[in-house]
Structure 1
Amino acid sequence: MTKLSRWPIEKEKMSLFLDDFWTAVASLKSKTEARMFFNQFLTHTERKMYAKRFQIAMMLVLG
């Protein structure tokens, strides 16, 4: 699992950071755009980790 910085961020600031992140993700219009965004944003290991987590969630939802 990735590690968070040891320097805490105020809740209000983190809320703004997360809102900016979700706004950016929601603005992606295609699979290609999403791939480019996450290839630049996440490391190779993080992409693999999230892909595996997503597959587990899908298996749980679909039964």
Structure 2
Amino acid sequence: MPKNDWTSEDVRNILLNPKYCLSTPPVISEGQWIEANARLIRELGPEIYLRQLLDTMKEPV
């Protein structure tokens, strides 16, 4: 059965993933992606942010 409830982690993982601004057509603009990720860096701290970004980029497309 599909999951219908979004968690804050689900949203964060989408915002972290650059494929959403690089897709055709893009889901969000590059500017929106940069703005969202700058905010995540401030909220999470750079080390946690970079670890989560790296983990996101390791996931299969």
TM-score, scaled relative to structure 1: 0.40
More helix by share: 1
Tell me: higher relative CO, structure 1 or 2? Use CA pairs within 8 A at least 6 residues apart.
2
Higher Rg of the two aligned structures: 1
